[in-house]
Amino acid sequence: MKGHPFLYGLLFLMVFFWAANFIVGKVALREFPPLLLGGLRITLAGLFILPVYLWEGRRKPERWGRGDLPLLITLGVVGVAFNQLFFVLGLSRTTVAHSAIIVSMGPVLVLLIGSSIGLEKITPRKIAGMLIAIGGVGVLKLFQVEPTIGARPTWAGDGFIFLSTIPFALLTVFGKRVTSQHSAITVNTFAYVGGAVALAPMTLWQASRFPFASISTLGWVSLGYMAAFPAVLCYLIFYYALSQIAASRVMAFTYLQPLLATSMAVIALHEPVTAPVVTAGLAILAGVYLAERG
């Protein structure tokens, strides 16, 4: 970490906000249906960041190359819209612990995608690490213990959470090139605005028949947090970090996310921590660490 103290401090803050997002998301899902929550979150994130983008554009105009705009919009629709939708669908059907542990598989997916396009080289050590991480997921599901209180993990919920990591991994790999040409604010603006426009029909359909007057202050605050902090602020940090250091090193900070999120869930949501969860978490983190150091 030598040489980047400020950057690593920002990355720690990013992971903390992302970990808290699991808890806040659970609270928001008590009042919002998953698809509406995902659509509103992306729409609000776009509205939050658009004024920042317009201000930056007047202060520091950017140079655009051929193909930049379609790539940014594609990253937004695929990397942001699908990631957010799969995340809230999964979180509504499983526990915070399962969600956070499965999300920590992200660096393995980054490695696989990077190797498929020639950015990473697969070695025996990396293969061993990936197999250990996959084995951890197997432990999580094969020896799953149903909690007596709180949320119950389901195959559908865990599956949606895993699906949410794929767009994010694609965003990490292909976003690296974009951040070398455009600022983090530009990338995030087009990602969220593009994602919001793509999801607008679904969001409007969900909103048309939803009783917004029934939402409590806590529900609105939870939605605002999800749009402002883990969505906008964390992605700005994420893209800024990608422009400074390797993508695999940025993703390595997700090691902390399962620990933080699970600890918060135990305190705030009274979720139990079972032996399979601990075993699977340790196996996945060990496998990811081995794969990245291979």
Q: Residue 145 is which amino acid?
A: V
Output 261 or 148, whichever has higher pLDDT.
Answer: 261
pLDDT at 237: 87
Residues written for the chain:
294
Tell me the residue type at 251. M
- Arithmetic mean of pLDDT over the chain: 84
What are the angstrom distances between the C-alpha of 47 and each of 159, 193, 226, 231, 237?
Answer: 30, 8, 13, 12, 18
- Binned at pLDDT 50, 70 and 90, residue 247 comes out as low
Q: Which residue has the tokens 């990608």?
A: 242
- Asked if the model's pLDDT at residue 71 lies above 60, the reply is yes
What residue has token string 């402002």? 228
Task: Please indicate whether residue 234 or residue 1 has the higher confidence score (pLDDT).
Answer: 234
Two tokens, residue 182: 């455009």
Query: For residues 138 and 283, is the Cβ–Cβ distance under 8 A?
Result: no
pTM confidence score: 0.83
The Cα-based distances of 133 to 84, 215, 241 in angstroms read 23, 40, 25
Alpha helices in 29-105 (DSSP H): 34-59, 68-74, 83-91, 96-103
Q: Residue 2: pLDDT above 70?
A: no
Predicted confidence (pLDDT) per residue in 129-149, tens digit: 778 877 877 777 666 655 544
Cα distances (angstroms) measured from residue 219 to each of 26, 30, 216: 10, 8, 5
Number of CB atoms found within 10 A of residue 108's CB? 25
pLDDT of residue 38: 94
Over residues 202-212, mean pLDDT: 95
Structure tokens at 57: 């554009």
pLDDT at 239: 74
pLDDT at 1 over 50: no
Of 54-58, 62-66, 70-74, 100-104, where does mean pLDDT reach its minimum?
62-66
Q: How confident is the model at residue 70 (pLDDT cuts 50, 70, 90)?
A: confident
Beta-carbon contacts of residue 79 (< 8 Å; ≥ 6 apart): 167, 168, 170, 171, 174, 175, 191
Q: Please say whether the dihedral angle defined by the alpha carbons of residues 253, 255, 259 and 261, taken in this order, is positive or negative.
A: positive
Question: What number is the average pLDDT over the span 255-280?
Answer: 84
Torsion sign, CA atoms 275, 280, 283, 284: negative
| Contact (Cβ atoms closer than 8 angstroms) between residue 247 and residue 176 | yes
DSSP 255: G
